[in-house]
Structure 1
Amino acid sequence: MKKSKQKTRDTRYSRYLHPRWWPTWAGIAAMWLAARLPIKLQWWLGRRIGDLAYRLAARRRHITQVNIRLCFPDLSEQEQQVLVKQSFQANGIGVMEIGLAWFRNPASFIPITEVHGLEHVDAALARGKGILLLGGHYSTLDLGGSLVTEYIEADVMQRDHNNPLMNAVMTRARERRYGMVLDSKNLRGLLKQLKKNRIVWYATDQDYGRKDIVFAPFFGVPAGSITATSRIADRSGCAVVPFSHFRRQHEPGYDIYFHPPLEDFPSGDDLADATLVNRTIENEIRRHPDQYLWMHRRFKTRPSSDDPDLYNEDGH
């Protein structure tokens, strides 16, 4: 497993005073102000953002429709379409929650947050080999991760934002919550933290291309699945603890779930390991299917280069 160094991030706001950054600053100011609104109003606004995105983001709507059709073939066409719309609304709320994660103290949400299975984290830490916290791209991604740090000390793997100013704001916000904010490719830093018996938030549930993958079922569909999780667990001896975070359906509130570490992991069989990881994430998604990031092309990479593109709107 190739190691990589942590790249240097410059998060000084003084770098972003030029007028070309003013539109981004305006967006950040809007997020800051929205984060002060009552949570029920934020959820309502988030749903309206989702409704607007559903109408205007035709490509993302198509990707979501394809994913849900593939992953939930037992649903009727009408039920699938309802889930597509609900997914856009849930991710719209997730956009609002980014402001909460970046600009509000998550301690204020403890009264409406319930944690399940924290004893599994305590038991895994007692082994002294660190924990790889196996997460997923749920719509509560930022706020859920921030809430988690109210109950455990953790580090996080981060894919940097394409907008340098947004990346600076995001990184500074996460640095206030997490011990370290590691670059998503910094395996050297990840292994170093695990060696210190640290907890590191880690997600594997996206399509990262054809390198170092196997094709394991995800909702019954062959999906390019990275083998790095097995390599990291083998190298470090860490426990791989699944966790998830969801907002409640009918009242403001959040639930965080920790589960027992994956058993017999790694097994020495990359396909079996990736299948277990995918099934574990799939089980969490089924709690609230609408709260997953279905807008991502999870099945972009196909087992054969000759296989048709599942997201081609012409059907070829």
Structure 2
Amino acid sequence: MSDLSATAVFRRFRWSFLAPQHWPTWLGLGLLWLLSFVGHRLRWRLARGLARVYRRVNPRRVGIMATNLALCFPEESEATRARWLERHLVLHVLALLDLGRLHRARRGELTEEAEIVDEALLERLWAEPGVILTVHSVGLEWAAAMLAETVPGSTIYKPFAKNPVLDWWFAGMRSRHGTLIQPRDRGMKPHMRALREGKSFFYIADEDLGATHGVFAPFFGVEKATLPLAGKIAKATRRPVYPVIGQLDEQTGRYRLRLFEPVTLPATADREAATAINRVIETMVREDPVQLMWSLKYFKTTPPGDEDRYRH
């Protein structure tokens, strides 16, 4: 299967998607489409209400958020971390409600509606493609789609194994402007090829993929399983590494693409490389901590002898 046909498979509609078991999914997607036509203030009020509901119906996930914040920011007061968690919940839900806008947007519309920091670096990325090192932030989907409007590239796609309708919907949203999406099990070869051909690679570097694929390195002072490949990929393809994060302004509803100066990372797959990557991520996160997707288990894998950090 060629790279392009792999993307096409994700985007192919099947009549089986209309089966009754998928009707709740279609209802949810229909509501997102309707919300794409209403103003930000209404979506924001709805997000605040749903965030309160989320706290009540999913205390386990909220506990993961609180644990992550406590591990990463022990120097902050409990009250500060609680405020951050509240703000993050609202931003998280608001970004989900914005998916309809994202899916419906015409080419160029996302760039017009976003704030760029800084534009000189974006122009450099256009002229000199490279590894776009980013994280699971509330503005991730918007940032990826916006960059795809003007920066040809590729990215790794994690399928929704139990919901083919969501697979089709998200893949269409992520690839509609030309981004080459590849499932994780296809490895790095398609993305290395794309980089050598003058495209960029949208690389999400913060996820814990286990000790088999990663190495332990400090992340906000806590040992974390990290995949130390960014520097190695950059050297092999002779491309720069651009740290980028997508952010969301709760008050205005505008998304912000924040670009940082290109970094040079160790071209190895060891603790030194993993530490360097985590330091770059820390710099992006510290600017506005509520933007990171704190619901993920960043410290799921523990060094031998350590206890489960999420046990309550």
Give the TM-score normalised by structure 2.
0.89
Counterpart code for 2:279: R
The answer to which of 148-157 and 283-292 deviates more is: 148-157
Aligned to 1:46: 47
Aligned to 2:292: 292
The answer to which of 43-52 and 113-122 deviates more is: 113-122
Aligned to 1:157: 156
Cα 1:184/1:121, change in 2 over 3 Å: farther
Cα 1:125/1:252, change in 2 over 3 Å: closer
Q: CA deviation at 1:126?
A: 5.2
Q: Secondary structure at the match of 2:310?
A: coil
Separation in 2 of the partners of 1:199 and 1:249? Answer: 29
Residue identity over aligned pairs, in percent, reads: 24
Cα 1:51/1:148, change in 2 over 3 Å: farther
The answer to which of 212-221 and 198-207 deviates more is: 212-221
Q: CA deviation at 1:14?
A: 2.3
Aligned to 1:132: 131
Q: CA deviation at 1:125?
A: 6.2
Aligned to 2:146: 147
Aligned to 2:179: 179
Counterpart code for 1:302: T
Separation in 2 of the partners of 1:10 and 1:172? Answer: 5
Q: Secondary structure at the match of 2:50?
A: helix
Q: Secondary structure at the match of 1:12?
A: coil
Aligned to 2:254: 253
Counterpart code for 1:295: S
Cα 1:242/1:307, change in 2 over 3 Å: same
For residues 23-66 of structure 1, the C-alpha deviation after alignment (integer angstroms, 9 at most, x for no partner) is 21111111111111112222222222222112221110111111
**Does 1:169 find its partner at 2:166?**
no
Q: Which residues of structure 1 form unaligned runs of 5+?
A: none
Aligned to 1:83: 84
Q: CA deviation at 1:152?
A: 2.7
Aligned to 2:195: 194
Separation in 2 of the partners of 1:124 and 1:57? Answer: 40
Separation in 1 of the partners of 2:306 and 2:39? Answer: 48
Counterpart code for 1:140: G
Q: CA deviation at 1:196?
A: 0.5
Task: Please say if residues 34 and 96 of structure 1, whose CA atoms lie closer than 8 Å, have aligned partners that are also in contact.
Answer: yes
Q: Secondary structure at the match of 2:10?
A: coil
Task: Please say if residues 214 and 224 of structure 1, whose CA atoms lie closer than 8 Å, have aligned partners that are also in contact.
Answer: yes
- Measured on the aligned residues, the alpha-carbon RMSD in Å equals 2.2
How many residues get paired?
305
Q: CA deviation at 1:121?
A: 4.9
Counterpart code for 2:266: P
Aligned to 1:22: 23
Separation in 1 of the partners of 2:35 and 2:138? Answer: 18
Q: CA deviation at 1:119?
A: 3.3
Separation in 2 of the partners of 1:140 and 1:45? Answer: 18
For residues 118-171 of structure 1, the C-alpha deviation after alignment (integer angstroms, 9 at most, x for no partner) is 4335546656xx411101100112122222234433332221123111110111
Counterpart code for 1:147: M
Counterpart code for 1:40: R
Aligned to 2:239: 238
Q: Which residues of structure 2 form unaligned runs of 5+?
A: none
For residues 170-226 of structure 1, the C-alpha deviation after alignment (integer angstroms, 9 at most, x for no partner) is 111222123312223431111111110101211010111111311111111111101
Separation in 1 of the partners of 2:185 and 2:44? Answer: 34
Counterpart code for 1:153: P
Counterpart code for 1:134: L
Q: CA deviation at 1:109?
A: 4.6
Q: CA deviation at 1:10?
A: 6.0
Separation in 1 of the partners of 2:209 and 2:225? Answer: 8
Give the TM-score normalised by structure 1.
0.88
Aligned to 1:302: 302
Q: Secondary structure at the match of 1:101?
A: helix
Separation in 2 of the partners of 1:260 and 1:67? Answer: 27
Cα 1:269/1:184, change in 2 over 3 Å: closer
The answer to which of 47-56 and 217-226 deviates more is: 47-56
Aligned to 2:105: 104
Separation in 2 of the partners of 1:38 and 1:176? Answer: 24
Cα 1:227/1:109, change in 2 over 3 Å: closer
Task: Please say if residues 63 and 295 of structure 1, whose CA atoms lie closer than 8 Å, have aligned partners that are also in contact.
Answer: yes
For residues 46-104 of structure 1, the C-alpha deviation after alignment (integer angstroms, 9 at most, x for no partner) is 22222211222111011111101111111111222221222111111111122221123
Separation in 1 of the partners of 2:34 and 2:6? Answer: 33
